[in-house]
Amino acid sequence: MSRLKNKVAIITGGANGIGRATAIRFAQEGAHIAVWDVQEEKGQEVVKILRDMGVNSFFYKVNTADYGMVQEAVNSVLKDFGKIEILINNAGILRDASLAKMTEEQFDTVINVNLKGVFNCTKAVAPVMIENGYGRIVQASSIVALYGNFGQTNYVASKSGIVGMTKVWARELGRKGITVNAVAPGFIATEMTETIPGKIIKEMTEKIPSNRMGTVEEVANVYLFLASDEASYVNGTVISVDGGGVI
């Protein structure tokens, strides 16, 4: 049985990494996908894969930090699909530096995309879900939101903020038939981690009880659960996908 049959899902940051894996996983379960990203070429590649799988899919070039752009994209999705039932707030960026070296621009850029971007997308989509009396909102936090990380003041602040917003929105939207949850991935193998030296990767994986990095598909599977009706009574929670990294 298809768990998301004919559901319409927006996936931000859907052009690569966890977002791409999520788009493909959702398509396997029968969802129709709106891929939002700033990377047009990679986004269109994902849409082609999804269409070849037989699902309806469109790409929208969206900078989630720009509310006007987000609202316009929501209107376009409604025009193209007629409804929105699932929002996966997955888009995120890194601009790492220690507190002493971090610039105001580095701080603001990460907060604008990772935190304000999630606010923008949810604010624009929520009225559509409220009108329909149904919705699934899932956002990407991070293991670092729960215990911090050297050199990531901006990233940790944004991902901790997402945990807080998730709990607020779960309270506000729960009575409207909408659930809001977050996923906190740990050390996941993505394009971002390909630049990390092998020695560092070895040191980090040795600290994880599962003794390996996670895969993007393993995160996508948790997004799928929270976006499905199987998770209809899961609301306001943060699920760690980290191989036991927070233990």
pLDDT in tens, 145-172: 988 989 999 999 999 999 999 999 999 9
Task: Output the pTM of the full model.
Answer: 0.96
pLDDT in tens, 19-73: 999 999 999 999 999 999 999 999 999 999 999 999 999 999 999 999 999 999 9
Contact call for residues 238 and 166 (beta carbons, < 8 A): yes
134 is catalytic: no
- Running DSSP on this structure, what letter comes out for residue 236? S
Considering the candidates 67, 155, 223, 233, report the single residue annotated as catalytic.
Answer: 155
Contact call for residues 158 and 64 (beta carbons, < 8 A): no
HSE-CB of 214 using CA atoms within 13 angstroms: 25
Tokens 């209809």 belong to which residue?
Answer: 232
Domains along the chain with CATH numbers: 8-187+216-240 (3.40.50.720)
- In this structure, the strands spanning 178-185 and 57-61 are unpaired
- In this structure, the strands spanning 135-140 and 178-185 are parallel
